[in-house]
Structure 1
Amino acid sequence: MNTYDVIIIGGGLAGLTSAIDLSKDGLQVLLLEKETYPKHKVCGEYVSNEISPYLNRLGVNFETTPPDEIHSLQLSDRKGQLVEIKLPLGGFGISRYAFDHLLFKKAKANGVDFVFETVTDVEFIDDRFTIKTAQQTFMSILAIGSFGKRSNLDKKMDRSFITQKTPWIGIKAHYTSSDFPEGSVQLHNFEGGYCGLSKTETGAVNFCYLAHYDTFKKANSIEDFNHKILSQNPHLKSFLETSKMDFEKHLAISQVSFQNKKAVEHHMLMAGDSAGLIHPLCGNGMAMAIHSAKLVSNEIKSFFKHKNRDKLEANYSRIWKKTFQKRLIFGSIFQKILLQPQLTRYGMWIVLKSPFLLRKMIQQTHGKPIQ
């Protein structure tokens, strides 16, 4: 039976980054992921610079896939009224296709083992984890759950949020656009949702939106929804009319969940979206996932010095809540505002008069640089 210090279930940003961090410290790490790299995912693909010093410390190098440097945010309401601000920290645009693959190669170079199979069962017995796929069984002292927004493992673990249905649908595609502004991330409101636009490392524009099912069911297809609903916002209408989709079809996910989650479940340490999902309109989910990898890695490295599991779990739950709870609350508030036309119009009127207020709002969903 294969035995490790840490087994990570899920190879997204949080899982890959924690694998790099822990292996850098000499721990034996296995990452279990159901799909091979590279691959596209439904994601906003904008990353706040708050995590740049941390990635530099881990030796993650973007020289072969230089991202698009982003300095400003454009925000519009449903009618197209627009406000633009300079982002407090700035960020960069990079596709999950490139970013995850880059992190995967770095983790492999660090000595992390990868198995591309679906996890079917997790047990915690006699102070050890036994983790099974259809083909193999593995054991570890610690386990990290980074299996995304919603997973069959959440059901197996009987996590409280999994029984609550959610009405959110995520749609994504890459587009070629000849006139998309350099250094800009855009957020455009439409009936029942909002759409983010930003350039990736290839120059393609990532077009990703979150829509409420009640609005989405008014259309017969994604293309019909884009034409009928999104195009009511003149900025989205112009983008769709002047750009060409690079994908054969849009990517889609349903049941996007924003319910509260626990940072520790059945002794497994949760990271990334498995621990909590910030509303995509805040444009900071990717940085938050990477930041959570740093938190869980720090606590795990400390654990292997004191070997106190209760202390590990209590400390991680506390530090996760201290670091992210305020962001999640503000993200929820911003989402509610954008989904109420009258509140959005009033909010746009305020930030047009005083753009610094929007900068303050952005700061509430972004952290300070971490190393």
Structure 2
Amino acid sequence: MKIYDVIIIGGGLAGLTSAIDLSLSGFEVLVIEKDEYPKHKVCGEYVSNEVLPYLKRLGIDIEKTNADQIDRLTLSNRNGKSVNVKLPLGGFGMSRYALDYLLYEKAKSNGVKFQFDTVTDVEFENEKFCIKTNRKELYSELAIGSFGKRSTLDKKLERDFIQYKTPWIGIKAHYRSDDFPSGEVQLHNFEGGYCGLSKTETGAVNFCYLTHYDSFKKEGSVENFNTHILKKNPELKSFLDNSEIIFDKHIAISQVSFQNKSAVENHMLMAGDSAGLIHPLCGNGMAMAIHSAKLLSEEIKAFRKHKNRNQLEENYSKIWKQTFRKRLTFGSLFQRLLLQPKLTNIGMLAVSKSPYLLKKMIQQTHGKPIS
């Protein structure tokens, strides 16, 4: 019976980064991913520069790609009143289509194995995992759950957050725009949600928003919602009127949950969105996923020496909370502020008079460069 050192369920940012890191230290790693690469995902596609040193150490040099180098933020309220500030650390704009594929190719070159299949169940017995897919059973000493925001596996594991319905839906598409500036990420408020805009490596603008499902359902379609709700913000109206969608249609994800999650479930180590999701307006979810992979990989390398599973799980849970809990708390606070028109207007007035205040707010949801 073949037993891998680590099996990773889900080949998103956290899963792929973990696979690369662990493979560099000699671990035999298998990644199980349901869809083949490359593929588009609903995602803001802005990544904080805090992850650049770590990625470079893994052999991934973002500066050698065509990623848009972003150093400014424009924020607007529902009426289109905006403020523009320089980002304290900056970031880069790159589609998940390109970034995931870049990481996938790197992982393969490191010897990581891939199986494109759907995991149906995970069992832990006699100090090893049995991971069942549609086609076979696979075994490993350690298992990483990196299967995204919401999965059927969450139900199988009876995770607390999955018991609660959430009203959030995410919509995304790429647009062609001659007017959208390079080097800038924009966040525009509208009734019941907010929309992020930033350029990707192809020059296309990623258009991604989060809104309540009830208000979205009333409009009946993405096109109606964009026309009747988003365009009430003059900034979004200008963008939509002067841009052309590149995708055949918008893509969507529903039941986006911001409930607290555990970093360990039935001895499986959770990474990325499976461990916790920051509100998209903070523009830091992709960086957090990559950072969580680093934290997890370090604890797994330590486990190789001490072979104490309880210590591994306790250490990882502790370091995850220490690293990300503050960001998640501030992210939740900022979202509540943006969804209250009066508070948003007061906040816009304050940051327009003192852009330094907005920079400090941004810093609360971002980390320092990791190496």
Corresponding position of 2:232: 232
Q: CA deviation digits over 1:159-206, x for unaligned, max 9?
A: 010010000000000000001012000000000000000000000000
5 Å matches for 1:15-54? 15-54=15-54
Q: Which residue of 2 aligns with 1:135?
A: 135
1:63 positional shift: 6.4
Q: Report the CA distance between 1:3 and its aligned residue.
A: 1.4
Cα distance in 1 for partners of 2:148, 2:288 equals 13
Amino acid at match of 1:175: Y
Q: Displacement, 1:134?
A: 1.5
Correspondence for 2:167: 167
**2:348: which partner in 1?**
348
**Equivalent pair of 1:65/1:98 in contact (CA under 8 Å):** no
Residue pair 1:2, 1:137 contacting (<8 A) in 2 also: no
Letter in 1 for 2:288: M
Shift of 1:217: 2.1
Which letter does structure 1 place at the counterpart of 2:215?
Answer: T
Counterpart for residue 366 of structure 1:
366
1:322 aligned partner: 322
Answer yes or no: is 1:209 the counterpart of 2:202.
Answer: no
Which TM-score applies when normalising by structure 1? 0.99
**SS of match in other structure, 1:255:** strand
Q: Is residue 279 from structure 1 mapped to residue 288 from structure 2 by the alignment?
A: no
Indicate the SS of the match to 1:80. Answer: coil
The count of residues paired between Structure 1 and Structure 2 equals: 371
Q: 2:306 — aligned with what?
A: 306
User: Is residue 111 of structure 2 the alignment partner of residue 114 of structure 1?
Assistant: no
Query: How much has 1:62 moved relative to structure 2?
Result: 3.7
The equivalent residue for 1:145 is 145
- 1:89-108 superposed matches below 5 A: 89-108=89-108
List runs of 5+ in structure 1 lacking aligned partners. none
Distance 1:369 1:134 in 2: 40
Name the CA distance, whole Å, in 2 between partners of 1:216 and 1:131: 38
Moved over 6 A (4+): none
Q: Distance in 2 between matches of 1:83 and 1:269?
A: 41
Distance verdict in 2 for CA 1:335–1:63, change over 3 Å: closer
- Cα deviations by residue, 1:36-78 (Å, 9 ceiling, x for unpaired): 0000000000000000000000001346642000000000000
Tell me whether 1:294 sits opposite 2:303 in the alignment: no
Helix, strand or coil for the counterpart of 1:42? coil
CA contact (8 A) 1:269 1:313 kept: yes
Q: Percent identity between the aligned chains?
A: 72
Q: How far has the Cα of 1:216 moved from its partner?
A: 1.1
* Residue type at the aligned position of 1:137: E
Q: Which runs of 5+ in 2 are unaligned?
A: none
> Which residue of structure 2 lines up, in the alignment, with residue 185 of structure 1?
185
1:313 is displaced (CA, Å) by 0.3
- Alpha-carbon RMSD across the aligned residues, in angstroms, is 0.8
Indicate yes or no: 2:326 matched with 1:332. Answer: no
Indicate conservation of the 8 Å contact 1:10/1:146, yes or no. yes
Q: Distance in 1 between matches of 2:214 and 2:206?
A: 24
Equivalences for residues 1-12 of structure 1 within 5 A = 1-12=1-12
Q: Is the 8 A contact 2:48 2:287 kept in 1?
A: yes
Aligned 8 A contact 2:52 2:62 in 1: no
